[in-house]
Amino acid sequence: MIVLAGTIGAGKTSLTRMLADHLGSQAFYESVDDNEILPLFYQDPKKYGFLLQIYFLNKRLAEIKNSFDNDLNVLDRSIFEDALLFRLNADLGRATQTEADIYSSLLGNMMEELPQQAHTKAPSLLISIQVSFETMLKRIKKRGRSFEQIENDPSLYEYYRELNQRYVDWYASYDESPKMLIDGDKYDFVEDSHAADQVLQLVDDKLTELNLK
């Protein structure tokens, strides 16, 4: 499968839809709008952080299994990001280090239990969208989810700032599969159709390089 990665507001969902339409494959989306735990997490991270990560782990494992039938199926979030996200919550006091350690161990064990098929457990290609912190904040504001807004919780500013930087570091060290980087500030593929065409061409070129298309 092809997997998208990137911080909040990077455009993962939009690019997932674009790629699936372009490639004639199936899109798998992260459960957000129907996720009853997510708003509770923003209200009380220490109480609901671990439960939220288990919820996402369960969903992502199901998506990986369901996507095995086509190397060009597209997932809008990588399971390999989850440990990064929960470790950040622990470092900022929004979860405990013990919870983060248990989650990392559980994630590793669950990945080992995925069925061995002709496909690898890692993606065929990971596409990371990187945006500046300023762009990230503008997009969070624009999409308007009340529980994500800094004016409702000023502590989110530091969380978002640190999250954006950790994604840069995470991509640099990611070695589970082939990868490519999309500059989300240079290519505003959500608002600009020309930029969208350019991004699709970049992905096509990478897939051809990897003999996937």
CA-based nearest residue to 140, from 155, 128, 156: 156
Note the residue count of the chain.
213
82 labelled ligand-binding: yes
| Residue the block writes with tokens 């390089």 | 209
Instruction: Name the catalytic one among 21, 34, 44, 76.
Output: 76
Answer yes or no: is 150 a known binding residue.
no
| H or E element in which residue 88 lies | helix 82-91
> Is 143 annotated in some ligand binding site?
yes
Q: Is 99 annotated as a binding residue?
A: no
Two tokens at 119? Answer: 């496909």
Residue 12 marked in a binding site: yes
- Is 118 flagged in the annotation as binding? no
The beta strand positions in 7-47, using DSSP E, are 27-28
148 is in an annotated binding site: yes
Which residue reads 């989810």 in tokens? 145
* CA dist list (Å): 32 to 8, 67, 147: 12, 19, 12
Nearest to 58 by CA among 82, 26, 42, 41: 82
The answer to whether 42 is annotated as binding is yes
Would you say 201 is a known binding-site residue?
no
37 among annotated binding-site residues: no
Neighbours of 56 (CB within 10 A): 21
33 catalytic? Reply is no
Using only the alpha carbons of the chain, give its radius of gyration.
Answer: 17
Q: Annotated binding residue at 134?
A: no
Could you tell me which residues are annotated as the binding site for ATP? 6-14, 139-143
Q: Which residues are catalytic?
A: 76
Could you tell me which residues are annotated as the binding site for substrate? 30, 42, 53, 77, 82, 148
Could you tell me which residues are annotated as the binding site? 6-14, 30, 42, 53, 77, 82, 139-143, 148
